Amino acid sequence: YWESSLFASLNNLKAFLRYIFLIFLINKQSLKMIKTFLKAIILSGLLQIIAGLFQIAIGQPALTFFSPYDLVDNQVFTSKFTALRTDSLNIFGTSSQNINYALFLLVTFLVNLNFSKLFNRYVFNFMNITIPICVYFSGSRTVFLSIIICYFIHHYLNGSLAKKLLFIAPILFVTSIIIYLLGVDLGSSSYSDFSFIFSGNLISALQIQRLGILEVFYENFFSINFFGYSSDKEFLAEYLARNFQIPIQLKLSTLILIEDVYFLAFFLYYGVINFIFLTLVLVYIYIKVKNGNTSKDFYKRLVFLVQNILLINIIINLFNQGFEVRLFSFYYWLIISITLFALETKNENSVS
């Protein structure tokens, strides 16, 4: 739309595209650093876990300590980064934002799950136990449920789901009870955030959140411009407010709610043609990786990692703007890029 700002449109488009171009930057030298790169993710994850556990144990003083001091009292900043509000107990590690923190731990969890022998079994088991706990206390329901789904996707792709279910089901049951009781005792915002999905008021509450904006989208489906409007977010919010029948309780948070359902946001920004194109690209990558001909165990694990991250990304972007979160998007596209290049060149002896 001509009324939208070209600069704002390009700037927001950059947020989506900035890491896709990593596909064109990977070379043979990069392949020699794959193990080092994966180990760096695990070590970074360990530091974030330690910071998160410290914040869980100490509470608000630890959250204040890890927050950026110059911005912690800035109302505009804290309104966006809710973890910095004094009434929020959601942990955020060193990332200053609980969703960014949870999404990075999700990437770490996937790497740790698929590469159990990068370090010793103590590190592997420690991270498998503590990452779900830290994500839970980050307050991100989407990422917490994604981690549970990740576990099942991983073992389904490896053909060991039935065996693992017999082992993991009692552990999950006991852990759920412990987390439930722990949440009640601490009165944590994380507990109320997660237990909300079992509430009888779930549907009515969601109608003034994501479900409400989806209902508006459904009711106006045939009046939507299928070529998209613009990635200028302010223009889009104003346009929808003028032309769509949006309930008063959704008007103030229309843009935020659209962004939370990122596939809907992408559809409105770039249109149905680009939405279909993105879908086909992701399906092509999945098929290409799945059919990758490799005999080396390390590369098989890399293929499983990419399959996991592609499948779980569907869930993430249904409820969060994962493509635009730097900590998630960077590792998402870098892992995909390295795997595609490795399978294309079949340079399996170059891993160090």
User: Tokens representing 187?
Assistant: 């009165």
Q: Would you list the DSSP string of 124-139?
A: HHHHHHHHHHHHHHHT
The CA–CA distances, whole Å, from 118 to 35, 114, 186, 324 equal 8, 10, 35, 29
In this structure, what are the phi and psi dihedrals at residue 23, rounded to the nearest 5 degrees? Answer: -55, -35
The confidence score (pLDDT) of residue 201 equals: 55
The confidence score (pLDDT) of residue 171 equals: 58
For the chain, 352 residues long, give each residue's pLDDT as a single digit of tens: 556 777 777 777 777 777 887 777 777 776 778 888 899 999 999 999 999 999 998 888 888 888 765 554 555 444 454 444 445 678 888 887 888 999 999 999 999 988 888 888 899 889 988 999 999 888 888 888 888 888 777 777 666 555 555 555 555 555 555 554 444 444 444 445 555 555 555 555 555 566 666 666 766 666 677 777 888 877 877 777 777 766 655 555 666 667 777 777 788 888 888 888 888 999 999 999 888 767 678 888 888 889 889 988 888 887 788 888 888 889 999 899 888 888 877 644 445 4
59-72 burial, b at 16+ Cβ within 10 Å, e below that, comes to: eeebbeebbeeeeb
The confidence score (pLDDT) of residue 318 equals: 78
Is the full-model pTM beyond 0.85?
no
Are 352 and 35 spatial neighbours (Cβ–Cβ below 8 Å)? yes
Question: In 158-296, which residue ranges form alpha helices assigned H by DSSP?
Answer: 161-186, 189-195, 202-206, 210-219, 233-243, 248-251, 254-260, 262-290
The confidence score (pLDDT) of residue 311 equals: 87
In this structure, what are the phi and psi dihedrals at residue 2, rounded to the nearest 5 degrees? Answer: -70, -25
The confidence score (pLDDT) of residue 249 equals: 52
Distance CA 320, CA 260 (A): 5
Q: Which amino acid is at 313?
A: N
